[in-house]
Every structure is written in C-alpha cells, then in structure tokens.
A and B are shown apart, each in its own frame.
Chain A
Amino acid sequence: MSSHLSALYTELVIEHDKRPLHAGLRDPFEAEVHHVNPTCGDEITLRLHLAEDGSERIEDVSYDAIGCAMSRASASIMADLLIGHDVAEVEPARLHFQEAIGSRGRVEGDEELIGDGVALLGAAKFPARVKCVLMPWKAYEAALVEARALRG
C-alpha cells in the first residue's frame, strides 16, 4: 500500500472513526442543522449549544454523522476542538484548518492551533476527500449562523 494511503488513514483518524468523541445528539441546543454531501450521500446532523449567559462560549456540539472514516474523524476532532471555548477563540483554528485542507498540501498544519486536526491533512492531497473532511465544519458554521440569528 502506498505511503499516501498511510498519510490519509493515520492511527489518529482510525481511532477517531472507531471511537468518536462527543458523538450523539444531545439537549439542550439552540440550532440544529442537517447537511448532506450529495455526491456520496454522507449526512451529518449537528446541534450547537451556546452559553446561556449571552456569551458565545460553546457549551456543546453534538452530532450524528454517517460517512467515511475521514468525515467521521473530522466531526470528532472538530467537536473536541470547539467544546468549552469561545467562538472567537476557535476562529483562528477553524480558518487555519480550512486553509490547510484546501491547500493541496502546501500549507502545513499547526498542531498548536488545530490539535488532532493535523491528522486529517493527508486528505489535502486527495481533492475528492476534502469535502468529506469539511462537511462537519460547514455544518458548524451554519449552526452558528442560526444560533446567532435566534439571539437577534
């Protein structure tokens, strides 16, 4: 098997796929979104719960993801990065991850910023898989828009 392949299916990816963190749908939540990747039929339902004190502290991200190892691992890693932090605080991580995954391997991942997210960057060299990895993040973005709209 090629080295590209082992760069894609790293031990961390397999571990997150097998034992995803924060998986399952939980209450309470302000926003729930359902995203589908129409090319492969993968789906994610994601709920976002922000602090009740009016701040943008992310109290919970819960989700139900049907998809390949890459997309499931991505959801697991993302939820773990987000929970317990302020939206503004995790923005740099979100932006850096998006840039690196879309860079075809030119931008190296910063582990300080995105933690286990670096394990997903093997997908950057496989354009067909970038969408899989980004699906949970797109769901989070949409949920955030909804949650903010709800607050007015």
Chain B
Amino acid sequence: MSAATRPFDVDAIRADFPILTRMLDPDTPMIYLDGGATSQRPRQVLDAEIAYLSHDHAAVKRGAHRMAGAATDAYEDSRERLAAFLGAPSAQEIAFTKNATEALNLVARSLGDGDASTPEHLRVREGDEILVTEMEHHANLVPWQELARRTGARLRWIPLADDFTLDLTDLGSLLTERTKVLAVTHQSNVLGTITPVDRLVEAARAVGALTVLDAAQSAPHMPFDLARLGVDFAALSGHKMLGPTGIGALWGRFELLEAMPPFLTGGSMIETVTMEASTFAEPPARFEAGTPPISQAVGLAAACDYLDALGMEQVAAHEQSLTLRAVEGLAGIDGVRVIGPAASPQRTGAVAFDVAGRHPHDVGQVLDSLGIEVRVGHHCAWPLHRRYGLHGTTRASFSVHTTAAEVDALVDGVARTVEFFGALS
C-alpha cells in the first residue's frame, strides 16, 4: 500500500480502459457491471505485458543467457510489487498460481498431504475440524469439502443470518480446539457482506487454528494490509483486480510455507532429483511447478501500480458511494429486493437483487438488451442462495471505472425490466 499519486477522476480513469468505448449495438454503449466476475484492464496493464513480451521474454530461472536473466528479473520484480501491494513482509511469502482457486487448492491439498515429516499443526487428520462459512464462493468451499473427504476430518460452517451477515452466535461451539483450519472469504461475492476478519482471526488464534482468507473479491476494492489482517494465508486472482487471467497468488507466512509439502510437482520446484525420489526447493519455488505465467505476473504488477496510484482508500470510497446509490435506487422499485445488507461500511460493491417472479436469466437478458452487463445465476455460491430460498440472483458489481450515471442506468434498466415482463403477462 502506498499513497495515491493521481486524482480519482473517473473520466480520466475511463480513458485508460480501451474496452469501455465498445458499442453493443449501434446506439447502445456497453455498461460493464460485472467486474466481480472478471475486471476489465487498463492500457497500463496491457502495455506492461506487451513491453515485457517485446523486450524481455524468455523462460525464467533457467538458462545462462541474458534474456533468461531479464525475464527472471521481470518475474521476481512482479512478486516484489505484489508483496508491497498486499503489505506482505517478504516477497518470498508469495507463490504465483493460476488463480485464487488454485491457491486455495494448494493449501487444502498440502494440509492433507499426509507426509509423516510434516509438523502436526500443518496436517489435517481424522477427528480434526475445518470451519468455513455459508457464504463462501465454491472456490473456498469445495477444496475444503474434498480435504475433509480425503482425511476424515469434519467440515463445519458458520451460518448466515436473516440480515445477510454471518451469524456468530454459536462461534464458541463451532470454533474449538478441534478446529485445524478456518477458511473464510473477506467479502461475499454475492451479498457484498464484509467478514469481521479481526474477530474471527482472534478467535481462531485462541484455539490454534490456521486462518485462510479468500481475498479474490476484496483485494481490488479496499485497502488491503496483511500485517493488519493477521491471517496465515490469503488467496487472490489477478483477473479480478484489473490484471490478466491465468495468474493468481497465494500468500502464506514463511514459517508455514517452509514446512508444507508441495501441491503440484515437476520442474522448477525441486532441489535434487534421482530416479527414486526428489527433494524440494524452498518456498515460493516449491509451490511453482512448471513454467509460470510470466507476462501475466508482469501485468498483475502493473495492475498493482495502477490501483496504488489511485489509492485504495479512494477506490473504496468511490465504490461505496456507487453501492449506496444502487442499493437505494433498486430498493425503490416495486417488486425488487436487494439480497444483501443495507448500505453501510459493512458491505461493498457487489449488489445482488431479486426481481419478484422473474428468473435472473430473464432479467439479465433484458438488461443486456439495454447494454447493461450483469451476472446472473448462483454466482458460484449455491449454498448461500439456498439459504435464502433463491435459485439465483442478478448481480451488479462496480469497479474503479463505474460512474454514477451507469448506476442510474442500471436502476432505470431494472425498472424497465419489471415493466417489460409486466406488460407481457
């Protein structure tokens, strides 16, 4: 994290995103409200990848030629850049992955590896418990279900309350000495609800449980400081934070990573190899088997630069004001119900809603005809929807380039959707 170096001027920001000039029909500009699924990329990110590929590209960490050195420098500089953005004490605590999903699988697989030399606190076994929440994205639920299945551990979850926040009433009986891992999202990708990380981390520490944070949704939208969060692991995706697809990262405390067995194995992650067996490199290389996503790492570093130049406080404030505007506007339409907490500092820029009697696919189809691109369905959070008796929702999510006028267009579009179906039936 660092201080902003440019004013938060949405028009100037929009000029950085080439895709925002796209028209969907001759008279229909594109209104992109699906950054929660994947973000658009500013030219600074696109340019950084092109510059790297035009000047420095080679395989990293092998070969004696100068290009290999240039590529390795670019890749490792990107690791440093991401570490600084996240407030990580050391770049060696960051392993690049394919995305947040892979980062979470890395932790879950490693903890269930069963290698006898792994210290007890990094081994999940039968009798242990894994605690998640009912609002997790499938990426932070299914890997833990599978870890429980493989090891015989028990999966438990913190339930959601009627007010769309976590119900911590029974936390004392859910998070106990038996809990080996607490894995929670930083922010619901559907409800916008922000998890009370401080309280959960404190409780987890008190019982000696490892803490894993799914930061895929939060890292691009709020000031992020690992030192302050106090978790043991955090996972994120580049493509949700203005960066490229194909790159994500796992941050973990070095002393934990150092004692953990690898997840994927192969080239680049070894120390010595014989026909019978291998020993493994120190982190982060131990967790980066095969040729990594190099230009994507460079692009992700440029995305960190871009966000830091805007200032994450300003980014958060911008998206908060849009969220408030959307929640108020949508709640004012007859038959529309916002699925998430009322606008407050405890929620952020994903706004899901239900249009009475209309399937979200049908809602999204009408909005698309107006150029408004939103997500429909269960948003990879099926249990959350089931909790509220919903089969799906329509979700708008806001980004640095979203304007108040676009939010107004959304509200107007939803009102027109209600009218459209009202007139047909």
What B residues does A118 contact at CB under 8 A? none
What A residues does B420 contact at CB under 8 A? 1, 5, 9
What A residues does B359 contact at CB under 8 A? 42, 67-69
- CB-contacts of A1-43 with B (<8 A): 1-2, 4-5, 8-9, 11, 14, 18, 39-43
What B residues does A1 contact at CB under 8 A? 366, 369-370, 416, 420
Nearest A residue to B390 by beta-carbon distance? A41
Residue pairs across A and B with Cβ atoms less than 8 A apart, 30 shown, are A1-B366, A1-B369, A1-B420, A2-B369, A4-B369, A5-B369, A5-B420, A9-B362, A9-B421, A11-B424, A14-B424, A18-B425, A40-B361, A40-B377, A40-B378, A41-B377, A41-B378, A41-B382, A41-B385, A41-B392, A42-B391, A66-B391, A67-B359, A68-B360, A68-B361, A68-B362, A70-B361, A70-B362, A126-B365, A129-B361
What A residues does B378 contact at CB under 8 A? 40-41
B376 within 8 Å of A by Cβ? yes
Contact (A129, B365) CB under 8 Å given A40-B377, A41-B385: yes
Tell me the interface secondary structure of chain B in the complex.
helix
Nearest B residue to A37 by beta-carbon distance? B377
Q: Would you give the 0/1 interface string for A40-55, flagging 1 where the beta carbon is closer than 8 Å to chain B? A: 1111000000000000
What distance in Å separates the Cβ of B370 from its nearest Cβ neighbour in chain A? 8
Contact (A40, B392) CB under 8 Å given A1-B420, A14-B425, A129-B361: yes
A132 within 8 Å of B by Cβ? yes
CB of B369 within 8 A of CB of A40, answer no
What A residues does B25 contact at CB under 8 A? 2
Nearest A residue to B377 by beta-carbon distance? A40
Q: Would you give the 0/1 interface string for B358-398, flagging 1 where the beta carbon is closer than 8 Å to chain A? A: 01111001100110000011100010010000011000000
What distance in Å separates the Cβ of A76 from its nearest Cβ neighbour in chain B? 15
User: In the complex, which of the residues B362, B370, B391, B421 contacts A41, with contact meaning CB atoms closer than 8 Å?
Assistant: B391
- Complex Cα spacing A2 to B361, Å: 17
6 tightest Cβ-Cβ pairs between the two chains A and B:
A68-B361, A68-B359, A40-B377, A41-B378, A5-B369, A2-B369
Binding site for B on A (CB under 8 A): 1-2, 4-5, 8-9, 11, 14, 18, 39-43, 66-70, 126, 129, 132
- Complex Cα spacing A5 to B420, Å: 10
What B residues does A68 contact at CB under 8 A? 359-362
What A residues does B361 contact at CB under 8 A? 40, 42, 67-68, 70, 129, 132
What distance in Å separates the Cβ of A125 from its nearest Cβ neighbour in chain B? 11
- Complex Cα spacing A8 to B361, Å: 12
- CB-contacts of B1-34 with A (<8 A): 25
- CB-contacts of B30-54 with A (<8 A): none
Nearest A residue to B386 by beta-carbon distance? A41
Nearest B residue to A3 by beta-carbon distance? B369
- Complex Cα spacing A4 to B382, Å: 30
CB of A40 within 8 A of CB of B360, answer yes
- Complex Cα spacing A126 to B25, Å: 15
Nearest A residue to B366 by beta-carbon distance? A5
- CB-contacts of B333-368 with A (<8 A): 359-362, 365-366
What distance in Å separates the Cβ of A63 from its nearest Cβ neighbour in chain B? 16
What B residues does A4 contact at CB under 8 A? 369
- Complex Cα spacing A24 to B421, Å: 24
Query: For B377, B416, B424, B425, which residue has the most chain A Cβ atoms within 10 angstroms?
Result: B424
User: In the complex, which of the residues B369, B377, B391 contacts A39, with contact meaning CB atoms closer than 8 Å?
Assistant: B377
CB of B365 within 8 A of CB of A5, answer yes
What A residues does B425 contact at CB under 8 A? 14, 18
What B residues does A132 contact at CB under 8 A? 361
- Complex Cα spacing A129 to B385, Å: 21
Nearest B residue to A41 by beta-carbon distance? B378
